[in-house]
Structure 1
Amino acid sequence: MPYDWKRNSGAVRELHLWPHNSLPPRGVMVVVLGVFALGSIPLLAVLGSVVLWGLLPFLLVAVLGLWLALEMNYRHRRTIEVLTLTDDQAQLVRHEPGGRIQEWHCNRYWAQAEMHEKGGPVPHYVTLKGGGREVEIGSFLSEDERIALFDELTRAFKS
């Protein structure tokens, strides 16, 4: 699962969440080079003619577009959420890809995890409520992972 509990010291626990990365950087290279190689096969028929120079830019634009889309996807997957639980405080810090940081904290006694099975942006939407605010957590996780996360958060806030 793309989240992990860490115990820093005595009573301090941290939950680190990150988006799933299904295609490693080496895989991106293989996909982009594969698309270029397969796209070059039809160009072999016009090799040595002027038509090659008319078709080649379209192949290069397609490969460049694929590479840019994959890079943008990687940038969006740099989101990291860290939930820190101490004896008396709960704090959630979300690090966004653009460098923006969002924080939420409240007294742990009043903090609670809630699951919105319907009506949220995704099914089984998990939020943390407390301190007069309600914030999302793990919205980038799959549905099964959000259900498991909710169970773990409920147990963590009770202990």
Structure 2
Amino acid sequence: MPSDDPDGGASRVLFDAILHPHRSLGRGGRRALMAVVVVANLVIGGVFWALGAWPVIPFCGLDVLALWLALRINTRAANQYEQVRLTDADLMVKRVDARARVWQTRFHPYWLRVHHSHPDEPGGEVTLSSHGRSVGVGSFLSPDERAAFATALDDALRAWRRPPCPPAPAG
């Protein structure tokens, strides 16, 4: 699948992975959770109001506000991603953070090495290094996802390094 190269030529995409942090609670789940918490706090606030302990009610509102802020921060953080793309010309690592700031680096694939640190532990990462430069990717992936990503990328790099097949004999 050809893509536009920044230099104006076309290059084939040999590997393209977009890595997103896992979020177990979708939009509907967040709304349901907030609804349950609001209803529970209204019931609790109503009970305390009936008992004459009305000063408790603002604290019930603070609970709802704190949960709403936490879910909003979590949702914003879910917008970050990392893209790793191998083409005929280079390997590009693009990182977009939660505020949509873009950071990008490129490596020549021939010299690039893939190192999978702490494969069985959460928080490890896949490190791509070449000529004294290195970048870590996939730190938010599960250990199994990181291992699968590292293997797939390493396989794609090996395939890139193989010489092209000779042309078929005429005949």
TM-score, shorter chain, exceeding 0.5: yes
- Counterpart mapping for 1:1-159 below 5 A: 11-12=12-13, 13-47=15-49, 51-52=53-54, 54-117=55-118, 122-123=123-124, 125-159=125-159
Q: SS where residue 116 of structure 2 aligns?
A: strand
Q: SS where residue 141 of structure 1 aligns?
A: coil
Which amino acid in the other structure matches residue 32 of structure 1?
Answer: M
What's the CA shift for 1:8?
5.2
Question: How big is the alpha-carbon RMSD for the aligned residues of Structure 1 and Structure 2?
Answer: 2.2
> What TM-score results when the alignment is normalised by the length of structure 1?
0.83
What's the CA shift for 1:104?
1.3
What's the CA shift for 1:45?
2.7
**In structure 1, what is the Cα distance between the partners aligned to 2:53 and 2:122?**
49
**In structure 2, what is the Cα distance between the partners aligned to 1:100 and 1:114?**
26
Task: Name 1:3's counterpart in structure 2.
Answer: none
> What TM-score results when the alignment is normalised by the length of structure 2?
0.78
Which amino acid in the other structure matches residue 86 of structure 1?
Answer: T
**In structure 2, what is the Cα distance between the partners aligned to 1:138 and 1:19?**
9
Which amino acid in the other structure matches residue 19 of structure 2?
Answer: L
What's the CA shift for 1:55?
1.7
**In structure 1, what is the Cα distance between the partners aligned to 2:50 and 2:107?**
70
Q: SS where residue 98 of structure 1 aligns?
A: coil
Contact 1:75–1:97 (Cα < 8 Å) also in 2: yes
Question: 1:58-80 CA distances to partner (integer Å, 9 max, x unpaired)?
Answer: 01110010010011011112111
Stretches of 4+ moved more than 6 A in 1? none
Give the total of aligned pairs: 150
Task: Name 2:163's counterpart in structure 1.
Answer: none
Q: SS where residue 70 of structure 1 aligns?
A: helix
Larger Rg: 2
Contact 1:88–1:109 (Cα < 8 Å) also in 2: no
